[in-house]
Amino acid sequence: MTALMYAAANGHQSILEALLYKCAAINVADGNGQTALTHVATKGNENTFKALILGGCGINIRNKDGRTPIYLAASSGFEVVVKIIVSKSCEIDAKDTKGRTTLWWSASPGNNTAIVQTLLKNGASPDAKSESGERLGDIAHLTGNEDAYELLRLDAKNGSSGLRSIKTHRFFKT
């Protein structure tokens, strides 16, 4: 872990700004492929996140699992950070190594429905499927995240629903 990563991950704003001023290597990754930005994406520190973006940190750099900062911020429930990232033209439908998008994880139980709404408003595809072929609307419904399911069902932005007949889902096959 670099000094910049440590300062970012632990919210040491003045140290972070000093390192950025001294032109610290901003997009260096650790052994897990995490950059300073991906470290702070899971912490939700808005000011630190903004400083890294202004410093030139890459918003689409992936870690070893193929996850981008928006993916990590959304799965950690940090709506404000997600909004900052989408305002910077990120790869909103980037897939991780298992073919799952940011919207996929955001529609899972226990996650912030406002993040699902933000992602849909900013062009995330409700038709995303995992590598195993499961659509995220089906997963939201079957796992009990009815609020996310309704958002996906009613998404009229591009005419997609992200859903298919629940009766054909593998969980219901006998």
* pLDDT (tens digit per residue) in 132-160: 777 776 666 666 666 776 776 665 344 55
pLDDT of residue 163: 43
pLDDT of residue 61: 93
How many alpha carbons lie under 13 Å from residue 67 in its C-beta half-sphere? 21
pLDDT of residue 145: 66
pLDDT of residue 109: 63
Which segments of the chain belong to CATH 1.25.40.20? 1-91, 92-174
pTM of the model: 0.78
Phi, psi of 104 (to 5 degrees): -55, -55
Q: Which residues of the chain have pLDDT under 50?
A: 156-158, 161-174
- Residue 169: CB atoms within 10 Å: 15
Query: Has domain 1-91 been given CATH number 3.40.50.300?
Result: no
128: left (phi > 0), else alpha (psi -120 to 50), else beta?
A: beta
For 92-174, which CATH superfamily applies? Ankyrin repeat-containing domain (1.25.40.20)
- Does residue 142 contact residue 107 with C-beta atoms inside 8 Å? no
